[in-house]
Structure 1
Amino acid sequence: MPVLARAVGEVGHAIDRGQMTSRHHARYQAVALLAREERARIQADDSLTDAQRDNMRKRLEGVATNLARLAARQPSLFGLLQEDAEVSEGTLQLKREMQQAAGMEPEPEAEPAERPDADTPSARRATIPQSVRQAQLANPFLVPDFSAVRPKPKGRLVGWELIGPVLNAFEHPVPGAPACMDLPDPRPTLLPPGLELMPHQARVLSAVAEGHRTFLLADEPGLGKTAQALLAAQLAGAYPLLCVVPNVVKTNWAREAAQWTPNRTVSVIHGDGDTIDGFADIVVVNYEVLDRHVGWIGEHGFRGVVVDEAHYIKNKKSQRSQQVLEVSRRVRRRMARPLLMALTGTPLINDIEDFRAIWEFLGWIEERKPGDDLMAALEDTEMTPADHAFYPAARQAVVDLGIVRRKKVDVASDIPARRIADLPVELEGAIGRSIAEAERQLAQRLVGRYRAALEHRRSRGGGDEVDGIDAELVRRVAEREVAESSEDDTSGDNVFSMVRRIGQAKTELAADYAAQLARSAGKVVFFAKHNDVMDGAEAFFAARGIRHTSIRGNQTTKVRQEAIDAFVGDPDVHVIVCSLTAAGVGINLQVSSNVVLAELSWTNAEQTQAIDRVHRIGQTEPVTAWRIIAAQTIDARIAELIDAKAGLAARALDGAAEEETSSADVQVEALVSLLTDALQEESVTA
C-alpha cells in the first residue's frame, strides 16, 4: 500500500506542475492494475480474518478514490482505467518495479509476440489466393533491389542507449521546435484531366521527386493524405504498392486510386482474397484480414507500403501491429529504400511512446536502437546524450527523416472554405447481402408494375408503341410508388424503408469514422435522420469511452441548450450527435470543422443547412463534411441525384432566389434510375 500511495502522489505532483509525461501515465495505469489485482487477491485469500480483509479493502478504496480524483483533474487518465485499455511495455515495467519495491515476486516478462509465420492461429488462417499464385509463376525471378543500400554508420555513439533520449527529445521539445520537415517548393506534376493538387500536397510530392522515401504524413483530416500517398507511389515507381487501411475506408482507397492514378490497376482484398488480381499495381487490404495474407505479401515484391490511420498500430503487442511490422521487415529485406508512408491525423506530441511502432514500420528505429539513417543523422550532430544540445538536434534528425504535419488553419488559403468529401463504404456480410436482395426485390416489383401498365395500355389500344424502354411510363410508375409509400413505414419494401435499412447498416461504419476524426482532429458533429441510427451511434461512442452529447427533436429548449453548451464549452466532449431535422437550423457549432453525414437527406438544402451549423461566422478553419455512402446501393444513386440537383439549382440563380428541388423529385428520380437499370439488365439477359 505505501508503494501505491507514493506512486499516486508522484502522479498528483506532476499534474500540479503541469508536467505529465508518458511515464506518469504509465505509472498511473500500473497503480490501477496492481490495485485491481490486490483486490482480487484479498477476496481469494482464505487466511485473512474478516477484520483484516475489511481493513485492506478500505485502504484499497482509498487508493481507488485518489485515482478517480486524479482522473477528474486530468481527464486523459480515464481511458487508462478501462478494462480493455492497452497496456504498454513501459506500464508493465513500472508494475514490476513497484512489485519488487513492495517485496513481492514480480510477474515474469512476457515472451516476444510470435511472428505471423509461426504456428499461430493467424498463420493457420493464412491463405495464398489463386491469382497471386499465377502472378508468382509468371514472375518467378523477383530480384531484391539493394542498389541504394548505404554503409552502416560507425562513430562516437556506438554503445550509447539512444531510443530513450530521442523519445525524450519529443516529449520535452524546445518551444517553437518544428513538427514538419522542410519541404521543397511545389513543382509541376502530370495529373489526370480535371484534377488539381493543392500547394501543400505538391510539396510532399516534390520531396518524393527529390528522392525522399519515408514519411510520417500527419496532416489533419481533409488535407488530402490519400492523394499524396498514391501520387507519391507513382513518382517513386513504387509498384506494386500495398495499402493497409481500416475497413471503413477500403472502398474509398480503391476509388481514390482509380481517380488519381487511372493508368494503374487496383485490386481490393476481401476475406481470403478469392477475387484479388495478383497482377494489380495497387493492392488494398484492411487490417482485419491482413493476418491471412502476410506470408505471400512479404514475398510478392511490393516496392511500397502505405499504412492509413497508422495510430492503429501504436500497441506493438497487438497482432495487428506485429503483422504490419512483419510486412515492413520483409519488404525492406528485399529493397534497400522502398516507399514507406504512415498516414495519421493524430497529433505528434501526445504520448510519443505510441510512435515507436510507426517509426519501426518506417525503418527509422529497430527494436532497441536507431535504424541506419537515423543513426547516421545522430552521428552527424557530433554530440552524445551527455550534451544538452543533443536533444533538439536529435528531434530535428527524426523530423527530417520524413515527419510532415500541417493543420487546416495552416493551409487555409489552399483549400475551399467548405467542401463535401464522399466516403463510400461497403456493406459486407449478412447485412450487405440482405440489403442487396431487398433492393433487387424492390426493382423487380417496379418492373412488374411497369410490365402490367404496359400490357394494360396495349390491351386498351391506347398510345403509340415506344421502341425500347418507355421513359414516360417508367416515371409514372416511380411517381405512383412514391405516392403510395410512406416515410413512416419501417416494415415495408418501399424506397423509404430501403434507405432507412441502409442508414442502420451504415451506423457503425459512420460512427467509427467519426471516432477516428474525434481522435485526430478534435470535435465532430455527427448528423443522422432516424432515431435508431442516432441511438446506435451513441452506443458506439459510449462503448469506446468517447464523451458525447446529442440534439433531438423531442428535447426541451433547456436540454438542447445544455447539450450545445457541453459540446462547445467542455474540451472532453468530442462528438455531438444531431438529428438532421431537429438540429439543421438555428444552432451554432463552429467549434468544430468536421461534419459526418451518416444518412443522406432528400434535398441538398437540408444537407447544406446541416453543414452550415459549422460553416458560419466565427469559423476560423475550412469545413469538411464527410458524407458516408453505401457503395453499390440506392444510397449512391441518391447522392448523385442530390449533387446533380444542387448543380442545376446553382445554375438557376437569378439574383433573387435559388430554385430548390423538392424531396419528392429526388425520391422519384432514384426509383426511375433503379427501374431503368433493371429493365436494361433484363433486356440484355433476355
Structure 2
Amino acid sequence: MEQLIVIISEKRNLGMTLIPFFAEASENSILQLVEPATEDHIEKDRFSFSPAQEEIVKLLSAISEQSLFKRFSRQKNLKLFFEKLESKFADDHIRPLMDSKITQALDIIALADVPVFYKNPNYSHLYESDRIKVRTLFDAPHFSFDLDDNGLRYTLKIKTEKGEMGLTNRDVLEITATPCTFLINNQLFRFQHIDSKKFRPFLKVNHLLIQPRSVDAYMHSFVENCVRDYHVEVKGFFINNKSAALKPILILQPDLSHAPVLTLKFKYDEREYMAGTKSKVFVNHRKMMGHHIFDRFERDIEKEQHIVQILNQLGLAAISESQYRPRAVDKELPTLPHVIEWLNTHAEALHREGIMLDQQDYDEHYYAGKVSLSMRYIEENDWFDIQAVINIDGQQIPFQRIRQHILRGRREYRLPNGEIFIIPEEWFTRYTDLMHFAKEEGDKLSINKIHYKLLDEEQLQEESPVWQAQVAALQQQTIQSASPEGLAATLRPYQLEGFTWMRTLNTNAFGGILADDMGLGKTIQTIALLLNEYTKADTSAQKNGLEQLNLFDTVKGFNNTTLPASLIVMPTSLIHNWANEIARFAPALKIYLYTGNNRAKSKDIGKILKHYHIVLTSYGIARNDIEYLKHYNFHYTILDESQNIKNPGSKIYQAVSEIQTQHKLVLTGTPIENALVDLWAQMNFVNKGLLGKLNFFKNHFAGPIEKKQDEAKEQKLRLLISPFILRRTKEMVAKELPPVSEQTLVCDMTEEQQKFYEREKSGIRNELLKAIEQTGVNKNAILALQGLTRLRQIANHPALVDDKYEGSSGKYEQIFEKLSSAISENHKVLIFSSFVKDLELIERDLKKKGLKYAKLTGATTERQKEIKRFTDNEECRVFLISLKAGGVGLNLVEADYVFVLNPWWNPAAEAQAINRAHRIGQTKNVFVYKFISGDTIEEKIARLQERKAALADTFITTNNPLKDLSEDALRELFA
C-alpha cells in the first residue's frame, strides 16, 4: 500500500532539500520509492491526502527543480540552468526561499508525524528502521564564554535533555541555514532563532579564541546579542538580570516626506527601543573598573501593549508599529498644527500614563502641554465686558493678545519663553466672529449686547441671569403678553407671539425685522405694539383716529411719561390703508398724515409732531424731506415693505438712516429679494453694526454663502440674526390659511440621466414611427403606450428600467431635498407613485439615511400594521404608497405633506391621493408637491393636457389610451 513520505536529499548546486514521495513497503521492510508527489496528484485525487499532507506537498513543490527553474532561470532548459547556476546567486536568492519552505514543511511534518528519511546516495535501499526522528519541540543553542588575560574563549553546543552535545568531529548535515536545521545520527535538530553560521566553526574545533585586542568590540556586539537572545554560561565577566521601569516616549519628528509623526519608543534603564521591536529582552553592556558587565532586562510587554491601546483610544492611528498620527480628517494627512493640538488636548492623559514627549528635528520648540481658556462676561449697560484668559503651563495670557491671530487665521503664537503655542482650531470656529465684532481697549475686550448670540449661552445665563431671562422671549418659546387694552381686535396666537417678541426687543433697546408672509397680519401686530407704547388716557375726547389734536395738547405715554411720535414709512399706496387700519383697531392713537400740504416747511418740525402718536409718510417724501425729518427724535421708526431700502447705496437708505429715533422696526414679506446684501441693509438699519460693515459682510458672509455654499457661515449668520428677525410662513400658521396648497416642481435631469433618456427616446421614436407608417396609429397604440411608460419611468429614474444604472436622477435629488426639509421641520409626508419600483428606490435611500418609514403596495399583506406604524409612531415620518394600493380608503391626517412622484393624467386620481391627508380631522395645512422632469415626455403631456383636456381621460378610461391621438400629436409627444 502506498504511503506519503518525505526524503532528505542533496541537489547539485543547491544543497540539501526535501522531496515528498509515494513509497511502498516490501515484506523485508524495504521501502520502494514509486514517484515524487506533486500538486497534480492532489488535483487528480489519486491519493487520499490529509490536509497536512496536502500542505506539505504544496510547500515542497514550490522548491522542486522544475519550480525553481521556472522562477529563477533565463536558460532554455533545466539542465543548462543548473549547470550554469552560480553559487552566489543560489546562496543569495534561491537558498533563502528553500530554507523558508523547508522550515514550514518541517513544522507540519513534526505535528502530523509524516515519515522522513535520508536518501544516502551511496545506498539504493531505504529501511523502516532508518526513519528520522523529527521532534515537535525546538532545540536550544548553549553558548559558553570564558574571559581571561589570554582573550575570550567560547564554545557553542546543542542543549539536549541528556545534557550538552558538541558538534566537533560529528557527521553533521546542514539542512537549512536560516533558521538552522541539522541532521545528526538520524535525528533532526531544529532551531528557531539562530543560523547555521554560528555553528559551523565548531564542526571542526571545540572552541574559538578571541584575541585580547578584539575582546571589547566582540563583547559589545556578538556577546551582547548572545546574552540577549540565548542561554549563555560565562566566566570572567558578569550578567545581571535586572528589572527596570518602563518609560514610554513619544517623539515629535518629521518623516521622510517631511510630514509630522509621533514615534513611540520604550526606555528601559538608559536604552531606548522602538515600539514593535521583536526581542523580549534588552541588554545593556557596560565596562566598570576593567570588568565587562551585561545588564539584562525583561520587557514589560503587557504595559507596552497597554500604552499602544491608550494611544489608539486617544485618537492616534498607527502608520507602522512605532509611528502614529492623529486620525485623518476628511482623508487629509494631519499637519504639524493638528499634531501639536492633539498633544495639547491629551496632555493630561499622556501625563497620567507616564508618557513623555520629546521634540526632534524642528527649528522651533512647540508647547505641547495642557491648555485651557476661562471666559467671563460682565454686564455693563449696553455692553458685555469679556474677561478671557488663556492658561498655559501656569502662564495667564489675555485672550485679546491672540485676537489678530484669530482674525487672520494664524495658528502660531510665540509665548514669552520662546515656545510656539498652536492656537486650537476650535477657537477659530468659535471666536472668529466674536473677535470681528468685539472692541479692544488695551487688555480689555467688550461687545455690544446685540451680538449676545456670539456668546456662550450657558455662561451668559450664569453671569447675567436677569438679562438672559429678558431676551429668552426672543427665542419665541412662549407667549407672555396679553393683547393691549384698547385694541379693537383679537390677536391670533401667532400674532400675539409676534407682539410679545416686539415688546421684548423694545425692552432691550433692540431693533427687529417682522418678516411674516403676506396676509399674516404684520400691520395689526405693529398697531398693537404702538398702542401698547402710548397712553390709553384721555380717549374720551378723541372722536376717531384721524382727528387732529389741538396744537397745545401733548401726548402722554404710560406712567404719564411724554413720548415722542412714531414714524411709519411705506409705499405711497399703503398710507391710507395704514390710516384706516389704525383708526379701526386703535382709535386712541392720533395720526398725522405727513403728505401733501401737511409736509414740514422748517426744521422745527417737532412743534407739530409732538401732538401725535403716529406719523405716516412715504419713502419718496422721507427721502426728499430728510433735512426736516432728521431734526425730530422719534419714539419708533417703522419701515413697511422695507425691501425698498435693500440697496445700501440708494438715497432712500441713506435718508432713513439719518432719522433720529429711539426704536426701529421694519416690516417685509420678502426680506431677501435678490441677494444677502438686501438683508444686510435692513438689519443694519434696525441694529446698526450687528452684521459689521458692508464690505466685511460681503467678504465674510455673503460671498462664502452665495458663491461657495459655506454651511458654517450660513449657520453663523442665522445665529446672529435669529433673535432680531421673526418670520412665519403660511405653512407655520396653517389654521389661518386655505387648507390645501399645491405646487408643481419642474426638475432638471442629471447629465447622465439626460443621455440615457435621449438615447432611449430616439430608439422608441424610430421604432414607433416606422410601425405607424406600416400599419397606422390605431394598431400601434399599445406600442406607443409601452414607449410612453418606459420614458415616464426613465424621467423618474433610469434605474426603473435598467438595474445596472448607477447614476442619479434630478427628480430624486429634488424629492429628497424637499423631503429632508419637511422632515427637519417635523412634518409627516405621504409619497405616492404609480410605479412600485419607484417606491423601492426611495425605500433604498431612506434606509441608507436611517429614516423610518411605512410602505403600502399591492404586495403588502399586513396593511393595518403599516398604517399603524405611520400614524402611531412619531419617528416614522414617511409613508410610501402605490396608487393602486392606497388611492382610496385611507385616513392619514397625521400627514401634512403629499408628494406626487409622477403625474397622473386623471385629476380624480390625484385628488383621491391628496384626500388621504386632506380630510375631516386634519388640523394642519396640507401642502402638495407634484414632481415633473423638465424637457421630458412628462412635461410635454402636461402641455398637451392644457390644449387637449380629453388626454387625461384617455389614459384612464380606455384600454388603448392613445388611440384617439393623431399621428401629428404622437410625433409631437415623442419629438
Radius of gyration: which is bigger? 2
The higher relative CO (CA closer than 8 Å, separation ≥ 6) is in 1
Q: Same fold (TM over 0.5)?
A: no
TM-score normalised over the length of structure 1: 0.43
- Compare the two structures and name the one with the higher helix fraction: 1
